[in-house]
Amino acid sequence: MNVYDLPDKRGHFGPYGGVFVAETLISALDVLREQYEYYRNDAAFQEEFAYELKHYVGRPSPIYHAKRWSEQLGGAQILLKREDLNHTGAHKVNNTIGQALLARRMGKTRVIAETGAGQHGVASATVAARYGMQCVVYMGAEDVRRQATNVYRMKLLGAEVIPVESGSRTLKDALNEAMRDWVTHVEDTFYIIGTVAGPHPYPMMVRDFQTVIGKEARIQMLEEYGRQPDALIACVGGGSNAIGLFYPYIDDDAVKMIGVEAAGRGLETGQHAATLTKGRPGVLHGNRTYLIQDDSGQIIETHSISAGLDYPGVGPEHAWLKDIHRAEYVGITDDEALEAFHALCRYEGIMPALESSHALAYAAKYAPTLAKDKLLLVNLSGRGDKDMATVAQLSGITF
């Protein structure tokens, strides 16, 4: 059996990952890497992390058999890993707790974060409140306008939300701005990145904190079904919920891994966020990975109905898993995701996040092609309450 052991010392997953930042950030990243490498193997740190996940987040999250929906689809059985039941409603909090605990041990009193739809911003504001740290969240001005409820939620939690007016005024620009803040205030500030992207050690560190999803799944599957699933399905924006589920299964070749990207209005329209399907390798936000870019290397604006998938890059580990054919990456359109959103509401009484609806939509396509005794484990990465306004608007409903 192969033993997968990436990244290397300098954060490479094959040709991807690494540290592509200006010299001004190098020493901050060196310190972060050293500190994280220490606490990664520190029993007391890991114990506190596990305690917080259990008592504050409410882990383990259950695996739920979506029986009625599976029957209706008429093929493989669809199982849902219920990250939507976590405190704050998504997998994001697994990572923010880990990074906040590290920040505290490093003596930082201020945390900053970037956010797109606001989920990672809320998860960061939440842990900052929990541990008594100052919190600043950078959010594209366009997203601030679109996600007013989440902006208010962050403010209620005591965070300061700074609208970013540069570039396309969305997630990628918020990330640029947070990096600028970090390089200027590195003495007292910890930058909590929300996904498995950015310079090393972020892709590894965020993955490690999210692998609780896959580790639990392996135990729960054995306990409840006596075996591991035939395939794992998860949505991929930056890819943190997907890698969190996939990672403990990488060496287990019998388990198929499928990442679902946002095909937006269709892969051929140019209006999508299907980075691994349609992008080319390049360098952005501190790492080498697949990017949605034009011929001259400028980053292009992406589109997805789901703000959490609307990002022109993707975690470098996914780029590597794609190249070595260990994971498969597919696209689901806005319309297909919406259909799955409604289906899960009606058949199972679960309102999924639009991000997670992409994974569900692929499961709905895939399940009917398989026998009824096959098991598909879908990461239900977040709940859909935050998306009600978007869905209502698309259905022509105003309140």
Partner 1 sequence: MNRIKQTFTALQANHKKALIPFITAGDPDPELTVELMHCLVDAGSDIIELGVPFSDPMADGPTIQRSSERALKHHVTLNNVLDMVTQFRRKNEHTPVVLMGYANPVEAMGHAVFAEKARKASVDGVLTVDYPPEECEQWVDCLEQQGVDAIFLLSPTTKPERIKQVAKLAKGYIYYVSLKGVTGASHLDLHDVKSMLGKLRQSIFIPIGVGFGIRDEVTARAVAELADAVVIGSRIIEEIENSSRDEILNKVKLLVRSMRQAIDEKLITT
Q: Tell me which residues are annotated as active site.
A: 92, 114, 381
Nearer to partner 1, 82 or 278 (CB): 278
Inter-CA distances, 311 with 25, 146, 228, 246, 393, Å? 23, 16, 31, 20, 22
55 vs 50: CA distance, rounded Å: 9
Q: How far is the CB of 190 from partner 1 (least distance, A)?
A: 16
Q: At how many degrees (to 10) do helices 334-348 and 354-366 cross? A: 90
- Cβ atoms of 357 and 386 closer than 8 Å: no
Q: How far is the CB of 34 from partner 1 (least distance, A)?
A: 12
Q: How far is the CB of 213 from partner 1 (least distance, A)?
A: 30
| CA angle, residues 215, 197, 52, in degrees to nearest 5 | 40
Residue 325's region, left for phi above 0, alpha for psi from -120 to 50, else beta, is: left
Q: How far is the CB of 19 from partner 1 (least distance, A)?
A: 6
104 vs 53: CA distance, rounded Å: 16
Query: Which of 332, 330, 268 has its CA nearest to residue 304?
Result: 332
Q: How far is the CB of 22 from partner 1 (least distance, A)?
A: 4
- Cβ atoms of 159 and 137 closer than 8 Å: yes
Q: How far is the CB of 118 from partner 1 (least distance, A)?
A: 21
363 vs 76: CA distance, rounded Å: 9
Nearer to partner 1, 8 or 42 (CB): 8
Q: How far is the CB of 295 from partner 1 (least distance, A)?
A: 7
148 vs 297: CA distance, rounded Å: 33
Inter-CA distances, 391 with 80, 171, 278, 308, Å? 22, 21, 26, 15
Q: Decide: helix, strand or coil at residue 347.
A: helix
Nearer to partner 1, 275 or 381 (CB): 275
Pinpoint the alpha helices (H) of the chain. Answer: 23-40, 43-52, 67-73, 92-105, 119-131, 141-146, 148-156, 171-184, 202-210, 212-225, 240-246, 275-278, 316-323, 334-348, 354-366, 388-394
Nearer to partner 1, 164 or 364 (CB): 164
Cα of 286 vs its chain's centroid, Å:
17
Q: How far is the CB of 139 from partner 1 (least distance, A)?
A: 16
Residue 98, Cβ density class (10 Å: 0-12 exposed, 13-18 middle, ≥19 buried): buried
Q: At how many degrees (to 10) do helices 148-156 and 119-131 cross? A: 10
Nearer to partner 1, 19 or 57 (CB): 19
Nearer to partner 1, 244 or 286 (CB): 286
Residues lying near partner 1 in the complex (CB under 8 A) are found at 10, 18-28, 30, 166-167, 172-173, 176, 179-180, 183-184, 186, 280-286, 291, 293, 295-299
Nearer to partner 1, 27 or 269 (CB): 27
Amino acid in the structure at residue 296: S
- Cβ atoms of 85 and 61 closer than 8 Å: yes
